[in-house]
Structure 1
Amino acid sequence: MQIVKVDPRALVENPDRMRRTQSSPQADVLLLATIRAVGIIQPPIVSPQRDGGNGWVIDAGHRRVAQAIAA
């Protein structure tokens, strides 16, 4: 495992690992406020693209990435 700094806009969503339930709008607003106040506490987990791309695919943390972009 390694830590890599990546622009969140460059991450590609993994449709196989998306949340099965939708979060409430209140939960999204609270997460956005927390990210603005203290940043991301637990970074998303990403892996290299396997289909020949040289980007990164989100394995865990889709909501955190979306709210980090919004912040």
Structure 2
Amino acid sequence: MRLTAILLLASAAALGVFSYWGLFTTSGRQRFDEMSGMIPFFAGCLAALAAVSSGIAYLIAWRRG
């Protein structure tokens, strides 16, 4: 379960970096313009969901001992 939490956290970090690049940098905004901007936006949403899931998985593993 701890490995799952670590993998989810690593995925959340990668998705978060991609989301930041796509939404907040000049090159990212040029690459994902108009409707394509939804891709990094939803990657950020998925990053948040993965981070929360990672925290829950870690707490479950910690409680089990």
Q: TM-score, normalised by structure 1?
A: 0.27
Q: TM-score, normalised by structure 2?
A: 0.29
Between 1 and 2, higher relative CO (CA 8 Å, sep ≥ 6) is seen in 2
Larger Rg: 2
